[in-house]
Structure 1
Amino acid sequence: MSFGTFIKNIRKHMELKQAEVAEQTGIEASYLSKIEKDRVAPPSEEVLIKLAAALYHDPNEIIYKAGKIPPDIRELILNDEELFFYLQQKLEEKQKGE
């Protein structure tokens, strides 16, 4: 599922209008429409966090679905050497399997 479809599905499930979500997010409704139709790349992390709040949804999931790494997860990886090397090992295993 594309990012835009993901956002649209959440908005419709919450029974919110594009104009409502756009206003709460601080963006134009036309921009939200473009996001939902995948006509533009996912917005900045700042907008994603506001979008998550407007949709009453987990910001980390919204950021992740946008193809980005949530800041708290990025911070965790940067501050946990064991976790970093574990992830690096997983990446190497995946690359060998391809």
Structure 2
Amino acid sequence: MSSVGSYLKKQRAKLSLSLNDVCEQTGITTTRLNRIERNQVNEPSPEVLKKLAVLYQIDLIYLYKLAGYMENVDVTGQIQPFINYEILDKEEREFIQNSIDFLAQKHFKTK
């Protein structure tokens, strides 16, 4: 799994945003964002991560988990990953999860 800083840097690059663009739209200083992206800030605040998640259009829960604010046990059972999830049995859910894991690994290998 990548660090929160490198993940945020990749997401910013995907959107072709400069540090100044992010500063203007979120109020997070370029110095602070640069330090976060270089992993020189141990735990970016949840408020900063929320602003970045909104601007970058990324999943906040994933970002919080990546930053160490949450773990899978904190959200397991609290979210439904897709429509009609609740009607599937355990075996069907595991099949879908395995498929998602396979695709995610493929995705991470291309990064």
TM above 0.5? yes
Equivalent residues in 2 for 1:59-98, closer than 5 Å: 59-69=60-70, 73=75, 76=78
The 2-side partners of 1:22 and 1:55 are apart by 13
26-35 or 40-49, larger mean C-alpha shift:
40-49
| Matched positions, count | 75
Q: Structure 1 stretches (4+) deviating beyond 6 angstroms?
A: none
TM-score, L = length of structure 2: 0.59
The 2-side partners of 1:18 and 1:50 are apart by 14
The 2-side partners of 1:60 and 1:49 are apart by 9
What amino acid does structure 2 have at the position aligned with 1:73?
V
Q: Secondary structure at the match of 1:32?
A: helix
What is the root-mean-square deviation in Å for CA atoms of aligned residues? 2.2
The 2-side partners of 1:22 and 1:63 are apart by 21
Any stretches of 5+ residues in structure 2 without a counterpart?
A: 79-111
The 2-side partners of 1:25 and 1:5 are apart by 19
TM-score, L = length of structure 1: 0.65
Match in the other structure for 2:14: 13
Q: Quick check: which one's helix share is greater?
A: 1
Offset at residue 25 of structure 1 (A): 2.3
Offset at residue 62 of structure 1 (A): 1.3
Match in the other structure for 1:54: 55
Q: Secondary structure at the match of 1:50?
A: helix
Offset at residue 64 of structure 1 (A): 1.3
Match in the other structure for 2:106: none
